Amino acid sequence: AQKVTQAQTEISVVEKEDVTLDCVYETRDTTYYLFWYKQPPSGELVFLIRRNSFDEQNEISGRYSWNFQKSTSSFNFTITASQVVDSAVYFCALSGPNSGYSTLTFGKGTMLLVSP
């Protein structure tokens, strides 16, 4: 069975602070995909990134960066110099071969509040 744990339910920071959102996953599969989605107050789910289990290189996209460590089954997400517009709920998710990599198992999400 697959499981995604986001231990931080809510994080509050002040604008311009760096913040890291943790994600720990469990799976018996050797091949799998990891995702991050953002859910702003408007409610939609916005795709941020997908990584496959064979690619452990860290990735940076503007102020966003992701640290994938297979040894600790973690896929953490860091926002540098946070902004008020980053306020949202962030979900980590996992897909595996049992469903043909089609379906997502989500964590419970971390609510990020960035105050001015």
Partner 1 sequence: DAGVIQSPRHEVTEMGQEVTLRCKPISGHDYLFWYRQTMMRGLELLIYFNNNVPIDDSGMPEDRFSAKMPNASFSTLKIQPSEPRDSAVYFCASSLDRVRNTEAFFGQGTRLTVV
Distances in Å between the Cα of 97 and the Cα atoms of 2, 32, 44, 73, 100 are 11, 7, 26, 17, 4
Among 33, 53, 80, 111, binds partner 1 (CB under 8 A): 33
How many amino acids of this chain bind partner 1 (CB under 8 A)? 23
Instruction: Give the H or E element holding residue 48.
Output: strand 46-52
Nearer to partner 1, 70 or 108 (CB): 108
Smallest gap from Cβ 100 to partner 1, in A, equals 5
Q: Under rule CB under 8 A, which residues in 37-56 are in contact with partner 1?
A: 37, 42-47, 50, 52
Q: Is 100 in the site for partner 1 (CB under 8 A)?
A: yes
**Distance between CA atoms of residues 2 and 29, nearest Å:** 9
